[in-house]
Amino acid sequence: MSSNADSLANSVWTRPPRSRGGQPALSRGQIVRAAIELLDEKGLDGLSMRRLGSRLAAGATSAYWHVATKDELLELALDEVMGEIEVPEAGAADWRTAAAALAHGLRAMILRHPWVTGLFGVRPAVGPNAMRMSDRVVGVLTAAGFSGMQVAYASSLLMSHAIGSATTEAAWRRSIAPSGKTADEVVDEMRPYIDELASRYPNYGAWWRENNAINVDAMQDDNFAFGVERLLDGLQSWLDRDAGDRHDAGRP
Amino acid sequence: MSSNADSLANSVWTRPPRSRGGQPALSRGQIVRAAIELLDEKGLDGLSMRRLGSRLAAGATSAYWHVATKDELLELALDEVMGEIEVPEAGAADWRTAAAALAHGLRAMILRHPWVTGLFGVRPAVGPNAMRMSDRVVGVLTAAGFSGMQVAYASSLLMSHAIGSATTEAAWRRSIAPSGKTADEVVDEMRPYIDELASRYPNYGAWWRENNAINVDAMQDDNFAFGVERLLDGLQSWLDRDAGDRHDAGRP
DNA sequence: CCGTCGCTCGTACAGTGTTCGAGCAACGCA
DNA sequence: TGCGTTGCTCGAACACTGTACGAGCGACGG
């Protein structure tokens, strides 16, 4: 819930972790780490406060002293994994490779922790690690020559692509995971069904008849890389084209 | 649960006239529609099977005869709202405006039904309406000159941007919704907190000092539109550049 | 020695998704 | 006409969820 009016100003991030004197058998960091383990193993639905308690060899509700609510715990977990993403500092590499590194890093993190896809749409990611990442990106893009709102727009474009793409990918992986088969095996088994679909959707059908020999896993990587390159091309050409009159741009 | 996806396409979407046996006070379409209403009003957590039952003036578990599980109901709801997106047919407009229409339509749908952001990452959207949309996009992009895997990559790029962008946007809106204030009011109230943040993150801080007079709502629209244009520029230049040797492309 | 503080945890409550089976209305067939 | 079958609804029950509350415990300052 936490529906405080000043939602951002008094969220988890402004409140220091509680722990002082006694013998804190539990700490906030420890709880968050255990929660991430559970989430990685069993997904978003697999995390319950009771389960978390027993994994920590603690009572079912002990975590509630360190963390106000389960949502808040998820927010902390999200920011924690956000910290795994590395973005080069502004001057360390040319901006295209730095931006590409951000996109690929963000995607890789999401695929490592697929449960974050269920969190991105709920509360904005504004924890310290997310902020650190934003800061780096702003630095890189400013150094590249973007200015004003275009800095924000370009950074949002990069992250949106990574989030959207990896979300779709995660959904696909999750749907084949319980079968225990590889992606290619699953596609092979689905061929009759896909053929039937292709017969009902003309454009898709025509495409499928010429492109049904695919290596699914390699395709996912290529797909993402292709998107990143096109997107960087688009940003690059914007940079080249309007090098002079960028002041009132943004509303074409 | 592999859920036979032809279920919706068949007879359930038939109108009130009659289905078969007794007096079916409930139908699948009716259930899905009521679920969407509830989801729009109260969000993903606001939908419970009991609440759905009572909104339909039916028993708490009556829906379970028409729908195997709550997840399946959500899948149906997702595909239903997917049907709201319009994509022009292949020849109806030049490909850039058609592609832009898809992206904007998808974003608008997500902002109208923000709960879908919690669904995209869970199961792939492969219902009939999603397929119809994919089919249109494939048609548009093929006519534009893309071929082979690039058709799939380009379409995925468009949709990823819309999904990622709207997901982030939906999160932001949700975080300010309970306060009842406008986005700009919230930003104004958050200014001290943001200033404090800006002092701790150098690049972001420098940017913020020059760009703190923003109209948040207009910015969201511009942000998305900017991304779509950059992305289409990138695709366009790929189209122009490799007009001849596109056969083995995709792995640069 | 006592009080207080930091912290844990058992219990309880309202709510969840889903299963099961009893029950009812209408139909096809005898 | 009667009967069995089928399509559908729904109340009760089960195992589980997030969270509030308060009793209790160990360590510390006075």
pLDDT value, residue B180: 86
CA of B244: how far to CAs of A246, B14, B151, B232, in Å?
34, 49, 16, 20
Q: Are residues B142 and B111 in the same domain?
A: yes
Task: For A62-73, write each residue's pLDDT tens digit.
Answer: 999 999 999 999
pLDDT band at A170 (very low <50, low <70, confident <90, very high): very high
For residue B140, being part of any structural domain is answered with yes
User: Residue B160 and residue A156: Cβ atoms within 8 Å?
Assistant: no
Is the per-residue pLDDT at B21 higher than 90? no
Q: Could you tell me the distance in Å between the CA of residue A32 and the C1' of nucleotide C6?
A: 20
User: Residue B230 and residue A231: Cβ atoms within 8 Å?
Assistant: yes
Contacts of B74 in chain A (CB under 8 A): none
CA of B152: how far to CAs of A98, A173, B137, B158, B239, in Å?
26, 18, 9, 10, 14
pLDDT value, residue B245: 55
For position B233, which CATH number holds?
1.10.357.10
pLDDT value, residue A198: 92
Q: Are residues A90 and A133 in the same domain?
A: yes
Q: A44-48, A75-79, A93-97, B1-5: lowest mean pLDDT where? A: B1-5
Would an 8 Å CB–CB cutoff place A222 in contact with chain B?
A: yes
pLDDT band at B226 (very low <50, low <70, confident <90, very high): very high
User: Who has greater pLDDT, B150 or B21?
Assistant: B150
Task: For B68-115, write each residue's pLDDT tens digit.
Answer: 999 999 999 999 999 999 998 888 889 999 999 999 999 999 999 999
**Structural domain count of chain A:** 2
Is the per-residue pLDDT at A135 higher than 70? yes
Alpha helices in chain B (DSSP H): 6-7, 28-42, 49-55, 70-82, 95-112, 117-120, 128-144, 149-176, 183-200, 202-210, 216-241
Residues spanned by the domain of A88: 83-180+215-241
Listed by number, the residues of chain B in 45-74 with a beta carbon closer than 8 Å to a beta carbon of chain A are: none
Task: For B46-57, write each residue's pLDDT tens digit.
Answer: 999 999 999 999
For residue A206, being part of any structural domain is answered with no
Q: Are residues A59 and A99 in the same domain?
A: no
Contacts of A164 in chain B (CB under 8 A): 159-165, 167
pLDDT value, residue A177: 86
Listed residues A77, A111, A133: the one ending a domain: A77
Q: B22-26, B120-124, B166-170: lowest mean pLDDT where? A: B22-26
Q: What is the arithmetic mean of pLDDT over B154-171?
A: 97
Q: A126-140, A214-228, A231-245, B165-179: lowest mean pLDDT where? A: A231-245
Q: A3-12, A18-27, A133-142, A177-186: lowest mean pLDDT where? A: A3-12
For residue B57, give the H/E element and its range. none
Residues belonging to chain B = 252
Q: Are residues A114 and A221 in the same domain?
A: yes
User: Residue B233 and residue A238: Cβ atoms within 8 Å?
Assistant: yes
For residue A103, being part of any structural domain is answered with yes
Is the per-residue pLDDT at B181 higher than 60? yes
For residue B93, being part of any structural domain is answered with yes
For residue A4, being part of any structural domain is answered with no
Selection from B16, B28, B80, B193 nearest residue A10 by Cα: B193
Q: Is B227 left (phi over 0), alpha (psi -120 to 50) or beta?
A: alpha
Q: Are residues B97 and B173 in the same domain?
A: yes
Q: Are residues A87 and A73 in the same domain?
A: no
Q: Are residues B108 and B219 in the same domain?
A: yes
Q: Are residues B229 and B104 in the same domain?
A: yes
Q: Are residues B150 and B226 in the same domain?
A: yes
Q: Are residues A91 and A151 in the same domain?
A: yes
pLDDT value, residue B76: 96
CB-nearest to B229 from A148, A219, A252 is: A252
Contact between residue B164 and residue B110 where contact means Cβ atoms under 8 Å apart: no
Is the per-residue pLDDT at B158 higher than 80? yes
Selection from B101, B75, B77, B104 nearest residue B90 by Cα: B101
Contact between residue A222 and residue B249 where contact means Cβ atoms under 8 Å apart: no
Q: Are residues B112 and B74 in the same domain?
A: no
User: Who has greater pLDDT, B213 or A204?
Assistant: A204
Q: What is the arithmetic mean of pLDDT over A11-30?
A: 67
pLDDT band at A42 (very low <50, low <70, confident <90, very high): very high
Listed residues A77, A105, A128: the one ending a domain: A77
Q: What percent of chain A has pLDDT over 90?
A: 67
Is the per-residue pLDDT at B15 higher than 70? no
Is the per-residue pLDDT at A82 higher than 70? yes
Q: What is the arithmetic mean of pLDDT over A67-87?
A: 96
For residue A201, being part of any structural domain is answered with no
Q: Could you tell me the distance in Å between the CA of residue A76 and the C1' of nucleotide C9?
A: 23
Listed residues B66, B81, B96: the one ending a domain: B81
Q: What is the arithmetic mean of pLDDT over A136-155?
A: 96
CB atoms closer than 10 angstroms to residue A165: 26
Using CA atoms, how far apart are residues B13 and B35, in angstroms rounded to an integer? 15
pLDDT value, residue A25: 75
pLDDT value, residue A215: 87
Strand C: which nucleotides have any atom within 7 A of a protein Cβ? 5-12, 15-20, 24-27
Provide the 3-class DSSP secondary structure of residue A193: helix
Q: Are residues A62 and A138 in the same domain?
A: no
For residue B219, being part of any structural domain is answered with yes
For residue A139, being part of any structural domain is answered with yes
Contact between residue B84 and residue B112 where contact means Cβ atoms under 8 Å apart: yes
pLDDT value, residue A252: 42
